[in-house]
């Protein structure tokens, strides 16, 4: 009897050790939100065709993450503000990382990214990344610090697509970046 219990405990400890030493990310419960580490991912950049990996591409600097589609009016309203934010915070190393997700085959993502005229990483076919980030509706909008921890996640809004909501989100993103960077005002 003692040998059976000992053997059972030994097997349980071995399984616990295997699970705790796994290189897999731990299972998450609930929605990914402020304070959580953003999941790792690898994707192909629409512009360069090169593989990009997160969090490596952060280079210890904060980033704005935007999940978008060519058909999305909210995305189209926000993207010029993303360009402004990139220009305002470029000296501090802030990047805009975008993810083409939930595309319906109605537009040309590469042509859309080329039309934006500001530096950004644009990850192609990012539905699986959007799923990891619990993005149900676009634009998915988040700010991460240089370690990859989420410091801001856009909430739901009933504002119509357009300048007002885009300015609102841009102001929230700036506040999150200022908090990370220690800027009183920017």
The per-residue pLDDT for 179 is 96
The per-residue pLDDT for 158 is 82
Enumerate residues 6+ apart whose C-beta is below 8 A from 109. Answer: 46, 70, 100, 103, 122, 124
Write down the architecture of domain 30-181 according to CATH. Answer: 3-Layer(aba) Sandwich (3.40)
The per-residue pLDDT for 62 is 97
Task: State the residue for tokens 């999150």.
Answer: 176
- Judged on CB neighbours under 10 Å (0-12, 13-18, 19+), 47 is middle
Question: Which one-letter DSSP state was computed for residue 27?
Answer: P
pTM of the model: 0.81
Please tell me the distance from the alpha carbon of residue 125 to that of residue 75, in angstroms, as a whole number.
16
The per-residue pLDDT for 161 is 81
The per-residue pLDDT for 30 is 63
pLDDT tens sequence for the chain (186 residues): 555 545 544 444 343 333 333 333 444 456 888 999 999 999 999 989 999 999 999 999 999 999 999 999 999 999 999 999 999 999 999 999 999 999 988 889 999 999 998 889 999 999 999 999 999 889 999 999 999 999 999 988 888 888 899 999 999 999 999 999 997 555
User: Structural domain boundaries of the chain?
Assistant: 30-181
């Amino acid at each position: 009897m003692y040998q059976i219990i000992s053997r059972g405990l030994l097997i349980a400890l071995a399984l616990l050790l295997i699970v705790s030493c796994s290189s897999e990310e731990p299972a998450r419960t609930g929605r990914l939100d402020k304070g959580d580490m953003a999941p790792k991912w690898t994707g192909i950049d629409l512009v360069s065709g090169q593989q990009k990996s997160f969090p490596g591409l952060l280079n210890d600097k904060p980033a704005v993450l935007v999940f978008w589609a060519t058909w999305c009016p909210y995305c189209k309203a926000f993207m010029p503000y993303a360009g402004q934010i990139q220009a305002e915070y470029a000296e501090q190393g802030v990047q805009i990382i975008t993810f083409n997700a939930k595309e319906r085959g109605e537009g040309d993502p590469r042509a859309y990214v080329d039309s934006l005229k500001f530096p950004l990483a644009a990850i192609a076919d990012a539905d699986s990344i959007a799923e990891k980030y619990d993005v149900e509706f676009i634009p998915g909008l988040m700010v991460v610090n240089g370690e990859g921890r989420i410091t801001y996640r856009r909430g739901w809004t009933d504002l119509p697509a357009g300048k007002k909501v885009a300015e609102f989100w841009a102001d929230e993103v700036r506040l999150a970046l200022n908090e990370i960077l220690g800027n009183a005002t920017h």
